[in-house]
C-alpha cells in the first residue's frame, strides 16, 4: 500500500515540476474573451422601429431591441433581454463619433421612454448622433428555484 502512495506522489511531483518548467504557453488570448463572446451569433437578436419623430432639426428613432438570450427557460425567465433604444440624428451631423447613454428601466416598461430634452440639445450642439439605451441591466429576472422571486 505504501508503494502505491509513493508512486502516486512521485507522479504528481513530476507532473507539477514539468508543468512549471514547460516552455509551452496558452494559445488563448484572454484579452479578447469579451470580443469573442460579443461576436458570437445570437439568433434571438432583433430590433423593431416602433416610432419615428422628426422636426426641422433632427430625426429620432425609437427602437425595441432584443439584445440576446441569456441562459435557458429552465433556468431563468425571461430568457430574452430587450431594451428601448432612442437614437437622435441631428440634420447637422458632422462627427464620426457619437454618444451613448445607458440608463435604467424595467422589463415592465411597455412604451419607449420619451427622449430627454438635454440629449436632443447635446446632439444639436455637437453635431453628433446621440442614443440612449434603457433596461440595463435587464430586470427583473426570475431564477428557477429561487424562492425570492424576480430581482
Determine the pLDDT at residue 22.
56
User: CB within 8 A of 102, min separation 6: which ones?
Assistant: 132, 133, 136
Alpha-carbon distance of 86 to 91, in angstroms, equals 16
Taking only the tens of pLDDT, the chain with its 151 residues reads 555 555 555 555 565 555 555 555 667 788 888 888 778 888 999 999 999 999 999 999 999 999 988 888 889 888 999 999 999 999 999 999 999 999 888 888 888 888 999 999 999 999 999 999 998 888 888 888 888 877 6
Determine the pLDDT at residue 32.
86
Give residue limits of the domains in the chain. Answer: 42-143
Amino acid at each position: 500500500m505504501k508503494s502505491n502512495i509513493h508512486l502516486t506522489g512521485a507522479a504528481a511531483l513530476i507532473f507539477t515540476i514539468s508543468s512549471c518548467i514547460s516552455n509551452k504557453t496558452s494559445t488563448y488570448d484572454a484579452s479578447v474573451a469579451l470580443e469573442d463572446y460579443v461576436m458570437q451569433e445570437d439568433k434571438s437578436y432583433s430590433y423593431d422601429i416602433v416610432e419615428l419623430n422628426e422636426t426641422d432639426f433632427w430625426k429620432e428613432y425609437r427602437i425595441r431591441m432584443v439584445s440576446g438570450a441569456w441562459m435557458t427557460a429552465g433556468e431563468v425567465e425571461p430568457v430574452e433581454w430587450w431594451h428601448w433604444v432612442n437614437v437622435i440624428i441631428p440634420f447637422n451631423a458632422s462627427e464620426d463619433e457619437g454618444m451613448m447613454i445607458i440608463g435604467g428601466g424595467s422589463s415592465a416598461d411597455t412604451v419607449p421612454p420619451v427622449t430627454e430634452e438635454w440629449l436632443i440639445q447635446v446632439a444639436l450642439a455637437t453635431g453628433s448622433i446621440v442614443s440612449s439605451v434603457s433596461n440595463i441591466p435587464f430586470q427583473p429576472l426570475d431564477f428557477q428555484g429561487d424562492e425570492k422571486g424576480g430581482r
